Structure 1
Amino acid sequence: MKLGVSLPTVGPPGRRRYLVEVAEAADRLGFDSLWVSSHVALPATRNSTCLYPRAKTAGAYNWGVAWLEPVAVLGLVAGITERIRFGTHVLALPYRNPVVLATELATLDQLSLGRFVLGAGIGWMAEEFAAVGVPRSERGARTDETIEVMRTLWSNKNPASFHGRFVDFDDMWLAARPHTPGGPPVYVGGNTDAALRRVARLGDGWLAHELYPEEVVRGRQKLTDLAAAAGRDPEHIELTVRRGLLPPFPVMDFMSDRACIAGSAEEVAEQFDAYRSAGISLLVLDLSMRPAEIVETLEWLCKEVQPLL
C-alpha cells in the first residue's frame, strides 16, 4: 500500500518555505504522492454546513483562513521535486471553465512529466457557488460534463468538437498538450452513492474521505457492482482514502475535532494494514500540524512504521 501526504496550504502554515520543506522531504523519503485541498472564496457568515464523517463539528471554514490555490501550488511542487506524484484532493470542477481548466492542467501534466493526478469534486458550500455565479443545483451535471470536455480535448490529436449542456464548441485545438497520453488520471472524491456512481462511470480512482476500513469494504462492494453495470472493470479503479494521523509524540493539531489514526508504531501499522486488507492501495495522510512537525512525522513513519507493514 502506498502512502500520500497532504501539503500545508491552509492557514498560517501555507507559506512557500513550508511547502518546499514538506514537499522535498516527502520526495526524498519515498512517499508516493502529495495532495492539496481547495476553496475559492469563504463567506463572512456561513449557513451551509459540511459535516465530515469523522468530525465532531462542521469544520473550520471561516473567512480569514487562507487557502492557497491548488494549481499554482502544484506548479511550485512540480519544479522542486523529481519523483513524487501530486494531485488535488479535491478540486471543485463546477467553479471553473472546463476549457481553461483543461489547458491549465495539461500544462501542469506536461511540466511535471506526467506526475499530476486530478482529484475531482463537485463542491458543497452554497455561499461559494453564489460567489462564482454557478447554481449549486447544477454541480453534479457540470462536474460530469467538465470531465468529458477535458478528456475530449486532452485525447484528440486533431481539432475536436463538443456539444453539451454547458459547453459548446467546434473544431478547437487545446493550446497546451498533456504529457500523459489522453491526459492526467481523474480520481473522483466523495463518499455518497452519487459519488460512487460518478467514480464507476468516469473515475480512474476513488478518493474516499475519512472512512473506516469496514466502511471502505461496503463502499468497495457498491463500487464493484456499479462499475460492472457501467461496463467497466473495477480492478482498473484505484481505491484511496484520506485520514488524519497523529504521531505518538507531541504536535500541534490544527484539526483536533477529528478522529485520527494514532498510537504507537505498532498500532499505526496495524491500522494501515486494515486499510490494505479492505482494498485500499493509497492511503493519504492528513497531517494538520506545523510544517517542522510534519517532516518529523514523515521521518518517524519511514523509520518506525513502514518496516512493520
Structure 2
Amino acid sequence: MRIGLSIPQYGRFAAPGLSARLAAEAEEIGYDSLWVGDRILVAREPQNRYPGGTGVAPAEHRTFLDPLTLLTVAAGATRRVRLGTSTLNALWYPPVLLARTLTTLDVVSDGRLDVGLGLGWSKDEYQAVGVPWRGQAARLEETLDVLERIWADGEEVSHSGDLWTVPPSSIRAKPVQRPRPPLLLGGTSPGALERAGRRADGWLGVGLPLPALTALWTTVRHHAEAAGRDPGTLRLVLRVNPVLTPADDDRVPGRGTPHQLAAYLATAVRELGAEPLIDLHFAAQDADEYLAHARTLHDLLRDAA
C-alpha cells in the first residue's frame, strides 16, 4: 500500500517553513508520497458553483500558496517520498513553460515527480489568467502533446497545432524519469474518464461512496482496454479531504472518525487497488494536530493492510 499526504499549502497552513517541516516529518512517519493542489482565487461573486459541499468555495482557499514552488521546497526537505500534484490545472500554464518547470522539478528531486493534471472548475480563475473557458478538452489534449514531445528522447523539438507552434528548436533538458514522469489525469466527466484511460498512467479519484467510485474507476479501465492498453497498469490515486469528527457511515469519507476514514480507505485499497491521498487541511487546527492525525491515519492504514 502506498499512502500519500497533502502538505500544508492553504488556509491557516499557508505559513513560512511549515511545508518543509511537515514534509520531512511525513517522510519520517513513513508516507510514500506528498501532494499539492492548485487554486488562484475565490471570487466574491462566482460565475459557477464550487463542486462540493454547499456549492460555496471553502474560506481556506482564499490563501493558497503556489503548488510547484512548495513541491520544490518539499524536494529539498526529503529524500525518498514521491512528489505529486492533485491536481495542477494544466491549462493555466503555457505548455512549453510547464514542461520546463516540471522537468526542473523532476531533476531537482532526482526523479520523484508524479504529474497530476486537471481542468479545474472556476470560470473566474480562467478569466483571471486569460485562458478561454470553452474548448478545454482540445486545449488539454494539445497541452499533453506538447509536454510529451518536449520530454521525448532527442534534443530536436517542434510542434505545430491549432493552439501552439514550437519552431524547430533544441531543448536538451529532460526529466530524470524516462520516457517521462508518470502522468495522472483527474475529472469525472465522460470525456475526462475516457482521456485518463486512453493516455494517462492513472486517474486522480476523489472521495465518493464506494459504489460510485467503483463505477467511475471501472469506466476508466474500460477506456484503457478499448485503447489497446493494459488496464492493470493504471493507478488510482484517491484523494480525501475529511473533517475528523464522529459521523454516520453515509457521511464518510467527507466526515468521520480516523477509524471510519481508515476503514473506507482500506476497503478502497483492497477492492480497487487505490493509493490513498489524505488532505488534512480541514481536519487540524495547527501543525502539531496535523502531524498527530497524519501519524494516526498512517498507522491505522498500515495495520489494515
TM-score normalised over the length of structure 2: 0.90
1:294 to 276, 290, 294: 290
| 1:248 Cα deviation after fit | 6.6
2:85 is aligned, of 88, 101, 115, to: 88
Q: What's 1:252 paired with? A: none
Q: Secondary structure at the match of 2:174?
A: coil
- 2:270 corresponds, among 277, 283, 289, to 277
Q: Of 51, 65, 68, which residue of structure 1 is paired with 2:65? A: 68
Q: 1:105 to 1:305 in 2, by over 3 A?
A: closer
Q: Deviation per CA, 1:189-239, whole angstroms, max 9, x where unpaired? A: 112212101101221110011222222211122112211111211112101
* Contact 2:21–2:77 under 8 Å retained in 1: no
Which amino acid letter does the alignment assign opposite residue 241 of structure 1? Answer: L
2:258 and 2:277 map into 1 onto residues whose CA distance is: 19
Output one character per residue of 1:95-128: Cα deviation in whole Å (capped at 9) or x when no partner. 1100011011000001101111111011221111
Could you tell me which residue of structure 1 aligns to residue 122 of structure 2? 125
| Number of positions where the alignment pairs a residue of Structure 1 with one of Structure 2 | 298
In 1, Cα distance between equivalents of 2:11 and 2:265: 28
Q: Secondary structure at the match of 2:80?
A: coil
Unpaired segments ≥5 residues, structure 2:
none
The answer on whether the counterparts of 1:7 and 1:36 sit within 8 Å (CA) in structure 2 is yes
Does 2:154 match 1:160? no
The 1:201/1:101 distance shift into structure 2, 3 A limit, reads same
Q: Which TM-score applies when normalising by structure 1?
A: 0.89
| Counterpart Cα distance in 2 of 1:173 and 1:219 | 41
| Alpha-carbon distance in 2 for matches of 1:123, 1:77 | 24
* Alignment-mate amino acid for residue 225 of structure 2: A
Q: Post-superposition shift, 1:50?
A: 2.4
- SS of the counterpart of 1:137? coil
1:164–1:229 Cα change, 3 Å: same
The residue number in structure 1 matching 2:256 is 262
Further displaced range: 13-22 or 26-35: 13-22
Cα shift at 1:139: 1.7
1:158-194, Cα deviation, whole Å (9 max, x unpaired): 3022111111123223253211112211100112212
What amino acid maps onto 2:187 in structure 1?
G
Distance 2:232 2:253 in 1: 30
Unaligned 5+ residue runs, structure 1? 250-256
Percent same amino acid at aligned positions?
28
Match of 1:231 in 2: 228
Secondary structure of the residue that 2:104 maps to in structure 1? helix
Deviates most, 282-291 or 174-183: 174-183
Asked whether the equivalents of residues 213 and 278 of structure 1 are also in contact (C-alpha less than 8 Å), the reply is no
1:253 maps to which residue? none
**Is the 1:187–1:199 Cα contact (8 Å) retained in structure 2?**
yes
Pair 301,162 (structure 1): closer, same or farther in 2 beyond 3 Å: same
Moved over 3 A (4+): 245-249, 302-305
CA RMSD of aligned residues (A): 2.2
